[in-house]
Every structure is written in structure tokens, then in C-alpha cells.
Amino acid sequence: AAAAGRALTIGLIPADGIGREVIPAARRVLEALPSGLLAARPRFVDLDAGFEYFQRHGVALPEETLAALKGDCDGALFGAVSSPSHKVAGYSSPIVGLRKRLDLYANVRPVISGAAATASGARRAIDMLIIRENTECLYIKDEELHDGPDGRYAVAKRRISERASRRVGEMAFAMALQRDGMRRLAPEAERTWKARPKVTIVHKSNVLSVTDGLWRETVRGVHAASAQYRDAVDVEEQLVDSMVYRMFREPEAFDVVVAPNMYGDIISDGAAALVGSLGLVPSANVGDAFVVGEPVHGSAPDIAGRNIANPIAAIRSAAMLLERLGCEPAALAIYRAVDRVLADGRVATPDIGGRSTTTEVADAVCSQL
């Protein structure tokens, strides 16, 4: 929450493919924010990273980029990185590097739909925020292959720690409160969520009673230990299998959802399918000291360079960045401008059935602002 009183400095890392089209579009939207919503016009720092950069320079995440982020920037926007189809010696994903080096321990993904079709044909509002722990669980990649008497077998270790569970739990309750505050800033008629804030803890402790038991107990403990959270935020639990079932049957029932790394990966991709094109879904990589907004989609080599990529995921990621930096009114203005462009429907890229260009969609959002 650095916002008050001075200009924000935002690092821009377009990286590969359509990242180079959607990040400039998001930048233009940030530049179009009416004065008064931010203390001062944001400053931008253009930074290198990515697979193409790696092919030219032998490094995917240059130290200069990290130094600029740590030294000058309040937060950053990352475009997309192309993933080589085969293993390339010396290459590792720059976004994974950023998460590690900046301690961005949670991946946060909102799933929003003003008018989602349901099986019954009714139109219901989905407005959910999935928070995925992003440092441990099965992603410690501690696997072993053994020769046994009955053939080979493999074992993967899964790490769940109190510290990682606690900090992501803390983030879930804090964001539930912040979202509630944001909703109150919006006009009554536009509020999709009118109930008390709620956090759903996802686990499978009926099977993994030690690891998921510790996760569940620790996140519950964050709620129990805070009078503010107990007073203002409800808490519920959901086994991951029934989470998936309920998410598809009644997605409007969820507010903030917090999950360990692997379950979070699966449910957040499933949730993206609820609201249509990948080109609409934003995310943020969040730590205590830094935040990097990032559209969920990849570099989309099939459409790169043609000015037809949907910039809305990147634009919403820019709004998430502002939200995290404590500039809620500016973030809300961007969310609402995007919603109006989508509702109007006249300016839309091909992935959502339109014929407009990336640039035209960005222009439409700017003029709504």
C-alpha cells in the first residue's frame, strides 16, 4: 500500500509473443486514468525478460531487470513467456524466477462474470477470488524413482508448512475485507455480491490428514486469532473434489477461495473455463513487498504479431496491481470501464466473437474511463 501522495513506478515486462501487444495496451489504459484517481500519473520502466531474450542473450531474467524492480518499482506487469516445447539447456522460466527472487508467495486469480449462463438458463453473477499458495506443496519437485521387487515405483514428496499456510491464509482474510470495501465503493446496482465476505478453505484432509490437516488447522487459526476477521468474515471448508463440483454447479456461492498449490492450480484453470476466453482472465503474483500482475494466458504464438489478441486480461491485471498497491478507486474505475466495453459488445476481439483489434479494445476502455 504505497499509493498515497506520490507517483507509482510500474515496471513493464512484455516478454514474448502477444505480451508485446497486450502490455502496451494495458499501459495506455493506466495512462488514461482520469487525474484525481491517482495521486500522480504513474511512471513506467520498460524491462527485458523472456524466452526470446534468452535466445539472444543466454539469460531469461536479467539481473538488471531484477535490480530495477527491487530498486525503483512499486509493482510490475508481466506479459507472457513462450514455453519451449523441449528442454533447453540453461533456460528457466522468468516468471518462476520472479516469484522466487521477489518472494511472491501467492497467485491470485479473480473469476468474474456479470452474466454467467448456468444449466438452468438463469443468469447469475460469478465474483470469486482464488488464492493459490505458490511456494510449496508438490511443487517442491522432490521425486524419486525406485526399483522394487514388483517393478519400478515413484514417490513424490509434498511439503506443507505452517509459515507458508499462515501467510497465504492471512492474505485470504485481508483480501476478503478489501474486496468488501471495494464493493462498497461501487454503485449499488453494480454490486454482484451483497452477502458478508467469506473465505473457503480447500483441502483433502480426509485423505491427507497430516499435510492437509496442518494446512486447514493453520488457515483456520488465522481466522480464529483475529477479532477483526471473526467479526467481519465467514469461514467455510470444502474438500477439493466437492469444491470442483460446487464451483461448476453454483459458482456464485464463492467469494474468496484459498488453496494449497496443486489444488489451486487445478481449480483456478477450471474456474477460468466458467467465464470464457483466456483473454479475459487476469492474475497477480503477490508477496508482502511486491506484486506482479500477469494475464493468465500464454504468449499465444498462433495469433502473435497480428494486433488481434484480447488485451482485457492484461488490462484487468493492471487493475489488480493498482488494487494491491492501495489505489482501489483507480482499480475500480478500470474494472467498470472493462465491464461496460464487454456489456456493450460492439468492440471485441475475435476470441470473444468480435472483429476488433487489440488497439481498438484498449481505445474503447480508455474512452469509457
46 is catalytic: no
**Are the CB atoms for 160 and 203 separated by under 8 Å?**
no
State the burial class of residue 348 (Cβ atoms within 10 Å of its Cβ: 0-12, 13-18, 19+): buried
Q: Which one of 169, 260, 279, 293 is in contact with ligand ATP (CB under 6 A)?
A: 279
Please state the closest distance from residue 351 (CB atom) to ligand ATP, in A: 4
Catalytic residue among 241, 245, 288, 344: 241
Identify which range of 55-63, 93-101, 184-192, 301-309 contacts ligand ATP by CB under 6 A: 301-309
Question: Does 300 participate in binding ligand ATP (rule CB under 6 A)?
Answer: yes
Q: In what order do the strands lie in the sheet with 43-46?
A: 43-46, 9-15, 75-80, 291-293, 284-286, 106-117, 123-133, 256-259, 198-203, 234-239
Question: Does 20 participate in binding ligand ATP (rule CB under 6 A)?
Answer: no
Question: Does 176 participate in binding ligand ATP (rule CB under 6 A)?
Answer: no
Nearest to 298 by CA among 95, 110, 131, 86: 95
Residue numbers 335-364 binding ligand ATP by CB under 6 A: 349, 351
Question: Does 201 participate in binding ligand ATP (rule CB under 6 A)?
Answer: no
Per-residue mark of binding to Mg ion, 289-308 (x: CB under 5 A): ---------x----------
Which 3 state secondary structure label does DSSP give 331?
helix
265 is catalytic: yes
Question: Does 278 participate in binding Mg ion (rule CB under 5 A)?
Answer: no
204 is catalytic: yes
- Residue with Cβ nearer ligand ATP (181 or 353): 353
Closest-approach residue to ligand ATP (CB): 298
Spatial distance between the Cα atoms of 128 and 132, rounded to a whole number of angstroms: 13
Please state the closest distance from residue 298 (CB atom) to Mg ion, in A: 3
Q: Where are the beta strands (DSSP E) in the chain?
A: 9-15, 43-46, 75-80, 106-117, 123-133, 137-148, 151-159, 198-203, 234-239, 256-259, 284-286, 291-293
Spatial distance between the Cα atoms of 160 and 240, rounded to a whole number of angstroms: 16
Question: Does 283 participate in binding ligand ATP (rule CB under 6 A)?
Answer: no
Task: Return the number of other C-beta atoms located less than 10 Å from residue 210's C-beta.
Answer: 10
Nearest to 223 by CA among 290, 168, 262: 168
Catalytic residue among 91, 103, 139, 234: 139
DSSP conformation letters of 203-235: E-TTTSTTHHHHHHHHHHHHHHT-HHHHHH-EE
Question: Does 49 participate in binding ligand ATP (rule CB under 6 A)?
Answer: no
Q: What angle do CA 276, 280, 282 make, to 5 degrees?
A: 125
Q: Which one of 150, 188, 231, 302 is in contact with ligand ATP (CB under 6 A)?
A: 302
Q: Which one of 299, 317, 356, 357 is in contact with ligand ATP (CB under 6 A)?
A: 299
234 is catalytic: no
Catalytic residue among 204, 229, 255, 335: 204
91 is catalytic: no
Residue numbers 346-365 binding Mg ion by CB under 5 A: none
Q: Which residues of this chain interact with ligand ATP, rule CB under 6 A?
A: 18, 22, 80, 82-83, 278-279, 297-303, 309-310, 313, 349, 351
Q: Which residues of this chain interact with Mg ion, rule CB under 5 A?
A: 298
Q: List residues with catalytic annotation.
A: 139, 204, 241, 265, 269
